Amino acid sequence: MAFNWKTFWTRAFTALIFVAVMMAGLLYNEWSFLLLVSIIHFGCWWEYLKLVEKIFRTNLHSYLKLGFCLTGYHLLLFCCGTLQVSGYNLASSFSLPFLLAGLVLLTAGIFQQRIHLKALGAAAAGLVYISLSWALLLRLRYTADIAIMKDGAEQAVSGFFIPILLIMAIWINDTCAYLVGSMIGKTPFSKISPKKTMEGTIGGMLLCVAAITLILQYWFQWQPLLGISLIAAITGTAGDLLESKLKRMAGVKDSGSIMPGHGGFMDRFDSLLVAIPFVWLFLVFF
């Protein structure tokens, strides 16, 4: 695969803006993190539902679309820990109204048109694929029960760093896989994504694990670093292939066009959507 400099610089410029927005949301405070994840959540839902419509050649009623989004968003609010608005806890006071509103809209939407059962089931899968994943990332961010810091006195801020480490691992894996594959990639990795090469995929995984584990072990325990980076590299690649399969079934090149050179929300966060639940399971149970 020949290295395309024009594509590289387009992706690089867009990535700089993207990283700036992401870093502002990730680092500023708990509310900026919630705002960032909320925007991404609804953006992913919008593009996912468009893919479902194209795959099954049908149109979902707007009530159904909004109903799924609101029902899924209640999961995010439910995982907001101790965040409060005017003394009211988001999890206990606001998640239920979103759930009820979503269910009402879903019920209304079902009676507004003839339902395509397979399309409805695929849309409902987004509650796990999209909403549950982002909810678990919020759970990791707002937790105080997971210790990954090397300094015991700093364990209380572990939740702040976990999403950052996971996103860094995904970015390093994707970027290194792209660069290694562009330079030495020859062996196709999967028919689902013809541009992916075996050399790029393996190179990206190895560099991801090495960069995260070796460089950051001075501040974090090496075991969670190894687990996060390895899981992110493997499941992140699987997530990319899953979304590529959905796009191929829908007959589109990108899920959206919000980021030139990178596509849409689903294109940018496909790896993260699959990686989050597995990283959550690893950190909580192992």
The pLDDT tens digits of the residues spanning 60-107 come to: 999 999 999 999 999 999 999 888 888 888 888 899 999 999 999 999
In whole angstroms, give the CA distance from residue 232 to residue 167: 8
pLDDT digits (tens, 9 = 90+) for 203-252: 889 999 999 998 898 888 889 999 999 999 999 999 999 998 999 999 88
Q: For residue 144, which phi and psi values (nearest 5 degrees)? A: -125, 10
Q: What is the Cα–Cα distance from 281 to 127, expressed in whole angstroms?
A: 18
Q: pTM for this structure?
A: 0.89
The partner residues of 207 in beta bridges, in order of sequence, read none
Which pairs from 247-250 meet CB under 8 Å and 24+ separation?
247/51, 248/192, 249/51, 249/55, 250/50, 250/51, 250/54, 250/55
Q: Per-residue pLDDT for 110 more than 60? A: yes
What is the pLDDT confidence band of residue 9, given thresholds at 50, 70 and 90? low
Residue-wise pLDDT for 140-177, tens only, equals: 998 877 888 877 656 667 888 999 999 999 989 988 88
Classified as helix, coil or strand, 17 is helix
Would you say 59 and 112 are in contact if contact means Cβ atoms under 8 Å apart?
A: no
Positive or negative CA dihedral for 183, 187, 190, 192? positive
Q: Does residue 25 surpass a pLDDT of 70?
A: yes
The first and second tokens of residue 29, run together, are: 């405070």
